[in-house]
Structure 1
Amino acid sequence: MATPVIIQKMGQQMESGIIKEWFVTDGDYVKENDTLFSMETDKVVVEVSSPTTGFITITQDKSDDEIPVGEVVAYIHEQSTLARIEIPNKKAPIITSQDLDKEIKNLNGNSYRIIASPYARKLARENNIDLSKIKGTATNGRIIAPDVLAYLKNQNDLLSTPNKNNLDDSTNAANIKRSIEISLTPMRKKIVNVIEQSANSIIPVTITKTVRVDKLVQLRNEMKQEGINFTPNDFIIFSVSRSLQKFRSFNSQFSTSKIIEYQNINVSFAVAVENGVIMPVIHDADKKSITEIAIERKQLIEDVRNHKISKKSLEDGTFSISSLGEYGIDHFSPVVYPTQSAIIGIGSIQKAPVIEGDQIQIGYLLSLSIVFDHRVNDGALGAEFLQEICSRLERPLKTILSS
């Protein structure tokens, strides 16, 4: 009796996924709910668990190809169906019959076999790399994809280092230079699709303003001492949601010859992940306190990074913010999401000289850039909207008390 492991649908529009990394090898004994592999969809990377207990037979090793929803990638058997070989080193993992051709000799003349994930083996084959030269960093010295990529990068760096003994490097340029073709992941394809849609359908206008946030920094420090923690991004979401109550045309979408104005104010925010970005949503942000927003935003970030984000938490955003402040960026122009009409780019808070009357003071400055669809709103209204947000950031306590 064998139980199939199937690629299941994680979202309404999901048609396929990519297996990023197997955490078990062919023939391993797995328990129910043990993590088998990580899979990347067009929105997020999730971990797939075993549906039952038994011995696994991996049938699908398409680590760089899209696997359709519904396809079987493995079977869980009640009894082992593979020849299993004991290794002299008791701490070493059990090896399957598929590894028989990988036997090499160590320095002591004893036999051992290379333990590597299917994706790592595929990368090695494609780049003509001998796995015996790579030190695995996973459990029991298992070689995984990042180990192969690190080895390949190191080899490329060595190849690209100029040869001091060669007076004419140009003669060897063709032999030295190497390139790698990298297939687009579902997430990257989704990002490309969103950017292309935005570029082809939205006419963007960017307005930037720098605001002094001394009182916001002070209020945050005071509330932190009282056990209430929030970040500048939390307060920006809080302020934006309240400002959208007044400037509802920015909580909208342009559609053919009409404007769809959303009644709910759902603020999505960008979370950077490996090779992409995820946009979780705080629904009805205008009805939540600064503390509720701070708690929810923190939890959403943890869910994204732990691959536990729910489908609902990624849907129905009506306005977006994107922050590069932690990278020391002053200001930038993010891309407007196709189903929205505006987004705000948040820079870093920087301590800088500020002219106050005839005096020079030291203050905290923050730059905000609003990018909006010119078909929906004009520059003057965009300036008023941005000024409304900045005014709330300048007087944070009043903003909290009046909301």
Structure 2
Amino acid sequence: MAVEVVMPKLGMSMKEGTVSVWNKEVGETVNKGESIASINSEKIEMEIESPAEGTILDIKVSEGEGVPPGTVICYIGEGNEPVEEKKARDNQSKPKKERKKISPVARKMANSANLDIDTLVGTGPGGRITKEDVLHALPEREEKKQNETEHQPINMMRKTIASRMMESLQTSAQLTITMKADVTQLTNLQQQLNGTAIARYDTKLTITDFVAKAAILSLLEHPAMNSQYHNGVLETFENVHLGIAAALDNGLAVPVIQHAERLTLIELAKSIKLYGQKAREGKLLHDEIQGSTFTLTNLGAYGVEHFTPILNPPEAGILGVGTMYDTPVYRDDELCKGTILPLSLTFDHRVLDGAPASAFLSTVKAHLEEPISTLL
């Protein structure tokens, strides 16, 4: 008996899911637990695994099509007989295509130019396609190529990101300030700790881990930044639920580390790596992308220095991290090589003004420039 595969419900608020891509076609065999399709809803993308061993009998939902949770997206059954019957019915229902009449010379010219014969209009006797018909179609084909525009359907994740970014810009008073932190000591400390961190905890410490820890400590010192303004109400949080933006092939996910203030540097680093991996594999749960009070985003890997992060509504702040670079700096009147880390803070001016926002960013900078503070 055929098994129904339905669109899962990824959280209480989910109203629609979209099939991003089918990994299997009708007639292909699948093993239980094998990935048969990718789906997405809002900011979650995940794989759909086959609930049984068998054959894909029918695909009910096309790629790019959105359907409510619980909708049957395909059927899996035993054997090939149902598939062959379906193909037979489809073949019977399709009218036979009428063969195009075309002269041998015209056919040869069309094949050489990669022209689809079915698109040509014949002006010869009985609608026969002639050499002149092919010559007439060539310039039209080239003109059409020049005017062609690629159209791609926007998946649910991209639509959600677009909607949230527009909402963020339209409903908040955003301002971005920048600073540069001298992280020469930090990079030295990172190198000293990594041997032990890898050997003892199987975790490599990154600059992002240190910045995240510095941001958490700074949020505890400046609670106004750890707040949200929503529907005319300002809510300030005692706990830090840190969102870490993760770039995906087809969008962006922001997994949330709950109660990040309770974690040691190693525990924080492990959490960042775990959620980043789950985001890339499309395995984030709905609850794991909800409830952030502040967000961290890093474009350093792309060579970006300062940039303008957009608030993750309804949060009051988001910290952007740029790429590190070496430059000459003065220390005790001596010129030496230093490593600089650009920081970009976007904050909601409705919640706090430039001075307290600058004080928060200065505290982040201080923790990074005295990195031992992130360990105590």
Cα offset, 1:262, TM superposition: 1.9
Query: Match of 1:60?
Result: 60
2:34 aligned with 1:39, yes or no?
Answer: no
Counterpart residue number, 1:108? none
Moved more, 226-235 or 372-381: 226-235
Change (3 A) 1:97 1:357: farther
CA 1:83–1:400: 2 relative to 1, 3 Å: closer
Q: 1:99 to 1:358 in 2, by over 3 A?
A: farther
Size of the alignment, in residue pairs?
326
Q: Which runs of 5+ in 1 are unaligned?
A: 86-95, 102-127, 131-168
SS at match of 1:217: helix
How far is the alpha carbon of 1:359 from its aligned partner?
3.2
CA change 1:48–1:97 in 2 (3 A) is farther
Q: Distance in 2 between matches of 1:10 and 1:353?
A: 51
Secondary structure (helix, strand or coil) at the match of 2:65 reads coil
- Greater alpha carbon shift after TM alignment, 63-72 vs 238-247: 63-72
Contact 1:27 1:81 in 2 (8 A): no
| Whole-angstrom CA distance in 2 between matches of 1:19 and 1:385 | 43
User: Which stretch of the first structure deviates more once superposed, 76-85 or 325-334?
Assistant: 76-85
Deviations, residues 3-41 of structure 1 (Å, cap 9, x unaligned): 211111112222222212222221233232222111122
Q: CA–CA distance in 1 between the matches of 2:13 and 2:169?
A: 22
Aligned residue number for residue 50 of structure 1: 50
Work out the CA distance in 2 between the residues paired with 1:186 and 1:233: 29
Q: How does 1:290-305 map to 2 (within 5 A)?
A: 290-305=265-280
Query: 2:186: which partner in 1?
Result: 216
CA contact (8 A) 1:55 1:79 kept: yes
Is 1:388 matched up with 2:334? no
Partner of 1:190: 160
Q: Please, which of 236, 242, 245 is the counterpart of residue 261 of structure 1?
A: 236
Residues 59 and 175 of structure 1, relative CA distance in 2, 3 Å threshold = closer
Which amino acid in the other structure matches residue 254 of structure 2?
M
- The 3 A distance-change label for structure 1 pair 35 and 257 is closer
Q: How does 1:4-403 map to 2 (within 5 A)?
A: 4-82=4-82, 175-228=145-198, 229-401=204-376
Higher mean alpha-carbon deviation, 211-220 vs 20-29, is at 20-29
CA 129–336 in structure 1, closer or farther in 2 if over 3 Å, else same: farther
Task: Please report how far the alpha carbon of residue 270 of structure 1 lies from its aligned counterpart in structure 2 after TM superposition.
Answer: 0.8
TM norm structure 1 = 0.76
Cα deviation for residue 212 of structure 1 reads: 0.3
Determine helix, strand or coil for the equivalent of 1:272.
strand
> Shift of the alpha carbon at 1:81?
3.1
CA distance in 1 between counterparts of 2:115 and 2:181 reads: 54
Structure 1 equivalent of residue 108 of structure 2: none
Separation (CA, whole Å) in 1 of partners of 2:144 and 2:26: 40
The 3-state SS of whatever aligns with 1:353 is: strand
Q: Using the alignment, how far apart are the partners of 1:329 and 1:264 within structure 2?
A: 31
Report which structure shows greater RCO (CA 8 Å, sep ≥6). Answer: 2
Compute the displacement of 1:208 (Å): 0.4
Q: What's the CA shift for 1:191?
A: 0.4
Contact 1:82 1:97 in 2 (8 A): no
Superposed displacement of residue 173, structure 1: 5.9
The structural deviation recorded for 1:177 is 2.7
Q: Secondary structure at the match of 2:186?
A: helix
Q: Give 1:149's aligned residue.
A: none
Q: Deviations over 1:177-211 (max 9, x none)?
A: 31022222100111011111111111011110001
Aligned-pair identity (%): 29
In 2, Cα distance between equivalents of 1:32 and 1:99: 28
Provide the secondary structure at the position in 1 that maps to 2:322.
strand
- Are the counterparts in 1 of residues 11 and 287 from structure 2 also a CA contact under 8 Å? no
Letter in 2 for 1:226: T
